[in-house]
Amino acid sequence: MQQGHEPRIRGRLSRANEALLGAASEFAAGRYNNTTSRAYYACFHIAVASLLLDGASDPPGNQWRHAQTIGRFAGLLRRWDIESPVVAFRNLRERADYAADTESDGVSSLAAARILGEVLTLRYRLATRLNWR
């Protein structure tokens, strides 16, 4: 981890926690597309925190691009021997956010619950590496 990254890492983890709380709330209300979106953004903030922890520098203007960030994060997870469908999260989030034909049904519900579980696991593993809960 580069010097000075810890506050940004903790900030990203706090944003991830907020997104997770939002996802859980949306799930309880039966809004599964919103659940998927919030869970994705939790994962995105965890991805940025993980890359910073691994020594990455902030990109110009602190603009973390989604495709590049998720791709780099997937590579980092492989190096850390953590398996996750993190790359698929972006596709699920885009479908939930933009597809006109997406319906909130049982399949969406199961996908949203699975995503929440995966993101919680990733957050726990990252927090463990930081000795932070």
Indicate the burial class of 60 (C-beta count within 10 angstroms; 0-12, 13-18, 19 or more): exposed
Stretch 90-119: mean pLDDT: 63
Beta strands in the chain (DSSP E): none
Residue spans per domain, the chain = 6-130
Amino acid at 65: R
Is pTM beyond 0.75? Reply is no
Stretch 11-37: mean pLDDT: 86
Does domain 6-130 sit in CATH 1.20.120.330? yes
- The mean of the pLDDT values for the chain is 75
Q: What's the gap between Cα 7 and its chain centre? A: 18
pLDDT tens-digit readout, 45-54: 888 888 888 8
